């Protein structure tokens, strides 16, 4: 029985508990959770190498994407996703890894 | 205020650190093997993914891709050796083992492919290589199924076909789902070309299917041969249908749609197309019996099978043969057996009824054959060709005559017919009419009969049936055919009005338009001496008519007229109804006591043939011997003497003196009619040629002939030789000319 929430553990031992739906915004995480037989799919925990700071922003993006992507046929008022300039490069790399 | 430029943090350190491929790979390859051995539970997807990701990021994708292939190959080689060893020990479970191996391998490859998603995404696609998953599958194909000249593949194929054959032959229970699973595997094993690019074919389509069809083919070839040997058509068809249905139910359990279709075609070819023609000719229980006994079950079954095979040629040929052997369609002989006289009117009715019955029979058979358009066409063509034998054949077609006599006979007796009989009659007449090729010949015969009937008809009411029939003819081939016939009706109608206006109760005249009627005035008819009574009436009417219609010319034809004469015989007063010629002769005896044949000829000027006929009726026919002839014989000599028979008696007051018709007469009329048709055809074809050439100006010989045959098809079938002759005649008469350089081309001369 897949749980509704999953746990992401950062390199610096922070834990992010987010909804499965939002985590699935990342194709990479989606594959990890869905491909049974691996550790992740049974524990619903994923050990990542990112640090908490960047992970926070990534999770924020997951929710942002989930919210505005799923009901995009409503009015076109989608607020811009704010990216602090100093994080730009790190996020770029992360988006490549997470495939989102 | 000066804006401060924010400092961008560089990504994590690990991305920039140098990569130790061998150590990372040793973990990865261990993990891949774990996955292949169904033992991935303890592995972290993230960890493996991250490793693959880092390797690719550091541009080591190529070596990673190859190494993955290497690990998988090694694993598969081990599996292969195991399979072969076990099999060689006589295990016999190779099918199940391969299925299991494939099941596991497929799942593992899915996992491996997920783990190396980033490799596929960044490296594989860019280098136009097979995706990790597909790469694994091709390795399975080459290292398990196709290794050593396809040792395992062949082994499996053979096992599968052995199972299927056992099921086909003896109904052995087999696990179709297992076979289906192998098929699914085969369909997954895509073939690649020499550059490793997928070519859209699979092991299934390139290897298995061929083997499958070969073995299935030879299996059914043998079985069909055995059934064929039994020599029973019905049994054979039943067997084929059974076998096809059985196979139909099973094939979809394990074959893909394309192979199902190929197997269907193969079986149709083996069981139906290659044998059915002979089966239909089996001496027992075959087409001929089914047709003659009107076997619905067999014929519908046959049609089902033939439509499945899409092969009807043989059936059409054989139906044609069977129809051509129908005795009932052969024109009956009119010579009669022994001394019995054959009446053509009776023969006609019998023959027409017979043909109609046969047509009904084949209509029924056609319904059993799904009212197939080609079968219908064949039946019609066959009927037409039997009923219209080529002119060269000994017995020329008398169909036109038969139909005309049939119609004549029915209409004459139609007073008591009810509506059902009448509508059946109309339908029948049209059915036969359609079969007549030379409609112009029919027109001639029919017109002769119609003319006689119309002249005899008493009132408009009698014409109803005639009109209905003509309407049907018009619907069938158009108004050109019926225009003249309708003209005949109009004449009769006007004549009735005219006679009424002329208002002489003793005279009814039919005024006929020369071109509509088959009756033509002859030169001799104006010479005939009428008795004064008749002559007076005639001149009165002529005068009346020319007064009414200025400028019209009236000529008298007596052949079809009748007179009523009241004669007081010794015993009783009788009213004689007879032909005008007979009347003329009888009235002579008001002046003469007796008269010789020679004198009769001179006094009356009736043409000799007509005279003889009249005298036969008056002096030889038993019941109507109004004259006494001496010597009493059927021959007429110049000095034969005729006297009036005052002692004539008859049961009724009214006596109808029928005009004797001899066989020579009918034959003469017949050949005359045919000769007329021949002449008419010349005119018609001439007219057609001129019309066609006038609109086309220049045509080749072939084009012209084709055009003429097309144009005349509704009425008759002119031979090419006939058309050629007409063309030559027209060239002589300078309607056409040949091209100077190409004699096969004609030009129209205005």
Q: Are B66 and B124 in contact (CB under 8 A)?
A: no
The length of chain B in residues reads: 750
> Which chain A residues touch B45 with a CB distance below 8 Å?
31-32, 35, 38-41
For B479-488, write each residue's pLDDT tens digit.
888 888 888 8
DSSP states along B226-266:
HHHHT-BHHHHHHHHHHHHHHHHHHHHHHS-HHHHHHHHHH
> Which chain B residues touch A90 with a CB distance below 8 Å?
9-12
Taking residues B352-359, report their average pLDDT.
92
Residue B107 has pLDDT above 60, yes or no: yes
Does residue B561 belong to any structural domain of this protein? yes
Q: Which of B3, B5, B6, B9 should one mutate to test binding to chain A, selecting the residue with the greatest count of A CBs within 10 A?
A: B9
Contact with chain B for residue A5, Cβ under 8 A: no
Does residue B670 belong to any structural domain of this protein? yes
d(CA B499, CA B329): 46
Residue B12's pLDDT band, with cuts at 50, 70 and 90, is low
How many domains, in total, are found in chain A? 1
* Cβ within 8 Å, pair A31-B11: no
Q: Are B428 and B356 in contact (CB under 8 A)?
A: yes
With CA atoms as reference, the chain A residue closest to B109 would be A35
Which of B245, B271, B297 is at the close of a domain? B271
For B690-729, write each residue's pLDDT tens digit.
998 989 888 888 888 888 888 888 788 888 888 888 988 8
Taking residues B361-382, report their average pLDDT.
92
How many domains, in total, are found in chain B? 4
Helix/strand/coil (H/E/C) assignment for every residue in B159-201 = HHHHHHHHHHHHCCCCCHHHHHHHHHHHHHCEEECCCCCEEEE
The verdict on B133 and B173 lying in the same domain is no
Q: Are B745 and B699 in contact (CB under 8 A)?
A: yes
Does residue B514 belong to any structural domain of this protein? no
Q: Regarding predicted confidence, which is higher, B182 or B456?
A: B182
Q: Which of A8, A10, A38 should one mutate to test binding to chain B, selecting the residue with the greatest count of B CBs within 10 A?
A: A38
Q: Is B394 exposed, middle or buried (0-12, 13-18, 19+ CB in 10 A)?
A: exposed
The verdict on B637 and B692 lying in the same domain is no
Which pLDDT does position B4 carry in this prediction? 62
| CATH code: domain of residue A14 | 3.30.710.10
Which pLDDT does position B664 carry in this prediction? 66
| CATH code: domain of residue B157 | 1.20.1310.10
With CA atoms as reference, the chain B residue closest to A88 would be B8
Does residue B426 belong to any structural domain of this protein? no
Taking residues B523-530, report their average pLDDT.
74
d(CA B496, CA B659): 25
Residues 6+ positions from B158 with CB-CB distance below 8 Å: none
Which of B210, B240, B271 is at the close of a domain? B271
For A52-69, write each residue's pLDDT tens digit.
989 999 999 999 988 887
With CA atoms as reference, the chain B residue closest to A50 would be B12
Residue B395's pLDDT band, with cuts at 50, 70 and 90, is very low
| CATH code: domain of residue B718 | 1.10.10.10
Q: Are A8 and A48 in contact (CB under 8 A)?
A: yes
Q: Which of A37, A87, A95 should one mutate to test binding to chain B, selecting the residue with the greatest count of B CBs within 10 A?
A: A37
Pairing of strands A5-9, A15-19: antiparallel
The verdict on B526 and B653 lying in the same domain is yes
Highest average pLDDT, of B50-59, B83-92, B339-348, comes from B50-59
Q: Which domain holds residue A56?
A: 5-98
The H or E element containing residue A18 is strand A15-19
**A87 CA: distance to closest CA in chain B (Å):** 6
Residues 6+ positions from B395 with CB-CB distance below 8 Å: B331, B333, B389
| CATH code: domain of residue B526 | 3.30.230.130
Does residue B725 belong to any structural domain of this protein? yes
Does residue B108 belong to any structural domain of this protein? yes
Does residue B500 belong to any structural domain of this protein? no
The verdict on B543 and B657 lying in the same domain is yes
Residue A71 has pLDDT above 70, yes or no: no
For residue B608, the Cα-to-chain-centroid distance in whole angstroms is 53
For B60-105, write each residue's pLDDT tens digit.
899 999 999 999 999 999 999 999 998 888 777 888 999 999 999 9
Q: Tokens for B248?
A: 């139909």
* Cβ within 8 Å, pair B8-A88: yes
d(CA B132, CA B113): 6
ipTM over 0.85: yes
Of A71, A64, A57, nearest to A25 (Cα)?
A: A64
The verdict on B16 and B134 lying in the same domain is yes
Taking residues B487-506, report their average pLDDT.
82
Between B40, B46, B118, which is nearest A47 by CB?
B46
d(CA B407, CA B382): 24
> Which chain A residues touch B46 with a CB distance below 8 Å?
32, 40, 46-48
* Cβ within 8 Å, pair A49-B12: yes
d(CA B145, CA B161): 17
DSSP states along B623-675:
GG--EEEES-SSS--TT-EEEE-TT---SSSEEE-PPP--HHHHHHHHHHHHH
Residue B339's pLDDT band, with cuts at 50, 70 and 90, is very low
The verdict on B64 and B141 lying in the same domain is yes
Q: Which domain holds residue B710?
A: 666-748
Which pLDDT does position A72 carry in this prediction? 59
Q: Is B468 exposed, middle or buried (0-12, 13-18, 19+ CB in 10 A)?
A: middle
* Cβ within 8 Å, pair B45-A41: yes
Which pLDDT does position A87 carry in this prediction? 86
CB-based contacts of B522-530 (< 8 A; 24+ apart in sequence)? B522/B557, B522/B607, B524/B605, B524/B607, B525/B555, B525/B556, B525/B557, B525/B558, B526/B555, B526/B556, B527/B605, B528/B558, B528/B584, B528/B604, B528/B605, B528/B606, B529/B584, B529/B603, B529/B604, B529/B605, B530/B584
d(CA B693, CA B735): 9
SS3 call for B450: helix
Residues 6+ positions from A82 with CB-CB distance below 8 Å: none
Taking residues B322-338, report their average pLDDT.
76
Which pLDDT does position B227 carry in this prediction? 92
Does residue B311 belong to any structural domain of this protein? no
SS3 call for B677: helix
């Amino acid at each position: 029985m897949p749980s509704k929430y999953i746990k992401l553990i950062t390199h610096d031992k922070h834990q992010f508990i987010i909804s499965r739906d939002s985590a699935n915004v990342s194709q990479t995480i989606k594959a990890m959770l869905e491909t049974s037989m691996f550790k992740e799919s049974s524990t619903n925990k994923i050990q990542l190498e990112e640090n908490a700071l960047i992970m926070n922003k990534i999770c924020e993006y997951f929710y942002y994407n989930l919210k505005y992507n799923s009901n995009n046929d409503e009015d076109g008022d989608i607020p811009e996703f704010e990216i602090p300039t100093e994080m730009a490069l790190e996020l770029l790399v992360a988006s490549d890894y997470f495939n989102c | 205020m000066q804006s401060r430029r924010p400092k961008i943090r560089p990504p994590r350190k690990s991305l920039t650190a140098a990569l130790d491929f061998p150590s990372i790979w040793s973990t990865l390859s261990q993990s891949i093997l774990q996955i292949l051995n169904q033992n991935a539970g303890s592995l972290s997807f993230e960890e493996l993914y991250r490793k693959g990701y880092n390797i690719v990021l550091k541009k080591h994708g190529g070596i990673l891709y190859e190494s993955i292939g290497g690990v998988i190959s090694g694993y598969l080689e081990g599996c292969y050796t195991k399979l072969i060893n076990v099999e060689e020990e006589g295990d016999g479970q190779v099918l199940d083992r391969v299925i299991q191996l494939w099941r596991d391998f497929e799942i593992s490859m899915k996992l491996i492919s997920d783990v190396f998603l980033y490799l596929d995404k960044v490296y594989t696609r860019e280098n136009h290589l097979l995706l990790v998953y597909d790469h694994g599958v091709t390795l399975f194909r080459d290292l398990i199924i196709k290794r050593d000249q396809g040792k395992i593949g062949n082994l499996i194929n053979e096992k599968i076909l052995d199972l299927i054959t056992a099921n086909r032959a003896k109904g052995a229970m087999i696990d179709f789902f297992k076979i289906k699973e192998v098929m699914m595997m085969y369909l997954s094993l895509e073939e690649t070309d020499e550059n490793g690019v997928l070519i859209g074919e699979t092991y299934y389509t390139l290897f298995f299917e061929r083997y499958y069809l070969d073995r299935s083919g030879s299996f059914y070839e043998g079985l069909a041969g055995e059934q064929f040997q039994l020599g029973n058509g019905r049994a054979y068809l039943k067997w084929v249908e059974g076998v096809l249905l059985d196979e139909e139910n099973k094939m979809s359990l394990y074959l893909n749609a394309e192979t199902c279709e190929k197997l269907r075609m193969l079986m149709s070819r083996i069981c139906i197309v290659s044998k059915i023609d002979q089966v239909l000719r089996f001496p027992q229980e075959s087409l001929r019996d089914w047709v003659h006994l009107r076997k619905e079950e067999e014929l519908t079954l046959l049609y089902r099978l033939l439509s499945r095979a899409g092969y009807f040629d043989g059936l059409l040929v054989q139906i044609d043969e069977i129809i051509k052997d129908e005795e009932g369609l052969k024109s009956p002989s009119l010579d009669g057996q022994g001394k019995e006289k054959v009446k053509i009117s009776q023969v006609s009715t019998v023959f027409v009824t017979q043909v109609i019955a046969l047509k009904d029979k084949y209509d029924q058979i056609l319904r059993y054959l799904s009212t197939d358009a080609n079968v219908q066409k064949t039946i019609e063509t066959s009927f037409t060709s039997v009923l219209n034998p080529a002119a060269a054949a000994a017995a020329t077609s008398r169909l036109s005559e038969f139909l005309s006599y049939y119609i004549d006979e029915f209409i004459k007796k139609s007073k008591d017919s009810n509506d059902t009989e009448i509508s059946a009659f109309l339908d029948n007449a049209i059915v036969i009419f359609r079969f007549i090729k030379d409609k112009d010949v029919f027109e001639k015969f029919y017109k002769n009969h119609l003319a006689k009937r119309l002249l005899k008809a008493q009132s408009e009411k009698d014409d109803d049936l005639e009109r209905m029939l003509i309407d049907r003819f018009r619907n069938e081939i158009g108004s050109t055919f019926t225009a003249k016939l309708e003209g005949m009706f109009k004449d009769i109608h006007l004549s009735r009005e005219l006679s009424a206006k002329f208002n002489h109760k003793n005279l009814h005249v039919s005024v006929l338009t020369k071109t509509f009627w088959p009756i033509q005035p002859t030169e001799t008819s104006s010479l005939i001496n009428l008795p004064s009574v008749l002559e007076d009436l005639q001149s009165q009417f002529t005068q009346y008519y020319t007064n009414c219609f200025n400028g019209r010319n009236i000529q008298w034809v007596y052949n079809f007229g009748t007179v009523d004469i009241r004669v007081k015989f010794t015993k009783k007063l009788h009213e004689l109804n007879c032909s005008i010629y007979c009347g003329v002769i009888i009235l002579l005896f008001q002046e003469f006591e007796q008269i010789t044949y020679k004198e009769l000829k001179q006094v009356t000027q009736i043409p000799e043939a007509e005279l003889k006929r009249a005298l036969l009726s008056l002096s030889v026919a038993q019941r109507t011997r109004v004259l006494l002839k001496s010597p009493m014989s059927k021959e007429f000599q110049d000095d034969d003497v005729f006297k009036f028979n005052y002692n004539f008696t008859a049961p009724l007051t009214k006596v109808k003196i029928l005009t004797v018709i001899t066989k020579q007469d009918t034959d003469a009329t017949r050949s005359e009619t045919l000769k007329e048709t021949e002449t008419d055809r010349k005119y018609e074809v001439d007219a057609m040629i001129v019309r066609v050439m006038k609109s086309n100006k220049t045509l080749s010989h072939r084009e012209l002939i084709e055009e003429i045959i097309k144009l005349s098809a509704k009425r008759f079938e002119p031979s090419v030789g006939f058309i050629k002759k007409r063309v030559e005649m027209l060239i002589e008469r300078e309607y056409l000319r040949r091209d100077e350089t190409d004699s096969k081309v004609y030009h129209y001369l205005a």
